[in-house]
Amino acid sequence: MECEIPRVNSNIDEQKKYFEECKTIAVVGCSPDDTKASNHVAEYLRDAGYNMIPIYPKEDTILGQKVYRSLAEIDVPVDMVVVFRKPAALGPIADAVIARGDVKVYWTQLGLVNNEAAEKVKTAGISVVQNYCAMVEHKAIFGTD
């Protein structure tokens, strides 16, 4: 798959609103390896006060949180899904986000764009952020370190 430029995206004011309104954030592809970006971002979101739920195919806990294998397994409402997976995996993840029925924001990390998946999610009434780091944007918006 060649690189895509996001056709579907949110601006900084919308991102601020998402962070203010969302309480529970599932991190798809949250690595237990503390040298990985997904681990740093998940830890930051948890420490910023969000109920961070890691999704990973292995491990029982990451960053002290129970690990789920999929979005479908999570038994509490999820407001935002932050994705750390390759663009080719974003289609099935978008389908899982839509199937939940409670996700308000679908956020793909820096470097991750799949316009087809994003358009599908947006059509389902879910806000989309592509190709932005949730941690970097949160810090920029709220002035945290």
118 within a domain of the structure (yes/no):
yes
pLDDT at 1: 45
Closest CA to 115 of 32, 3, 1, 6: 6
Structurally, the chain folds into a number of domains equal to: 1
72 within a domain of the structure (yes/no):
yes
7 within a domain of the structure (yes/no):
no
4 within a domain of the structure (yes/no):
no
114 within a domain of the structure (yes/no):
yes
pLDDT at 36: 97
Cα(55)–Cα(83) distance, integer angstroms: 10
The bridge status of strand 65-66 relative to strand 80-83 is: unpaired
Tens of pLDDT, residues 109-129: 999 999 999 999 999 999 999
pLDDT for 2 beyond 60: no
Range of the domain at 18: 12-142
45 within a domain of the structure (yes/no):
yes
Tell whether pTM > 0.75.
yes
Output the domain CATH number for residue 34.
3.40.50.720
Cα(119)–Cα(125) distance, integer angstroms: 10
pLDDT at 92: 97
Tens of pLDDT, residues 6-57: 888 899 999 999 999 999 999 999 999 999 999 999 999 999 999 999 999 9
Tens of pLDDT, residues 55-112: 999 999 999 999 999 999 999 999 999 999 998 899 999 999 999 999 999 999 999 9
Instruction: Kindly state the tokens that stand for 31.
Output: 């690595």
Closest CA to 38 of 15, 57, 13: 57
Band of residue 145 on the pLDDT scale cut at 50, 70, 90: low
19 within a domain of the structure (yes/no):
yes
* b/e code 7-29 from CB counts within 10 Å (16+ = b): ebbbeeeebbebbeebebbbbbb
6 within a domain of the structure (yes/no):
no
Cα(69)–Cα(71) distance, integer angstroms: 7
